């Protein structure tokens, strides 16, 4: 915990500093949600096709999902999603003419959540 997934359009592959974003995001999660640094895990998933409305060109999407153990207040979750959006502004620089659609959500992990490390 936290489990972080970042879905992003392939058009951003060269315009998204993913390692820098992950480091900054982990620091924000530690500060805002009281996570432990070694517990922060982020996966990036590149999507091949992006469509916004009827338009298949000229748009890129980034959506960040943060799964946290239950117990954070709604205020904490809002602060965290706002921090994520601010970090995306810093670490994603889309090419000229590409509209960026960025979003984030924080959700509670299901009580069945378990993990192991080896």
23-62 tens-digit pLDDT:
999 999 999 999 999 999 999 999 998 888 887 789 999 9
Model-level pTM greater than 0.85?
yes
d(CA 100, CA 33): 27
Q: Given this model, what pLDDT does residue 76 score?
A: 97
Dihedral in degrees, nearest 10, Cα atoms 77, 80, 82, 86? -170
Domains in the chain with CATH codes:
3-108 (3.30.429.10)
């Amino acid at each position: 915990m936290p489990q972080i997934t970042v879905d992003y359009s392939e058009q951003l592959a060269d315009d998204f500093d993913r390692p820098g974003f992950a480091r900054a995001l982990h620091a924000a999660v530690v500060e805002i949600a009281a996570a432990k640094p070694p517990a922060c895990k982020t996966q990036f998933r590149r999507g091949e096709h992006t469509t916004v409305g009827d338009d298949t060109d000229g748009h890129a999407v980034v959506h960040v999902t943060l799964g946290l153990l239950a117990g954070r207040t709604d205020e904490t979750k809002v602060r965290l999603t706002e921090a994520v959006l601010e970090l995306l502004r810093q670490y994603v620089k889309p090419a000229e003419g590409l509209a960026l659609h960025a979003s984030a959500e924080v959700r509670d992990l299901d009580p069945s959540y378990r993990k192991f490390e080896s």
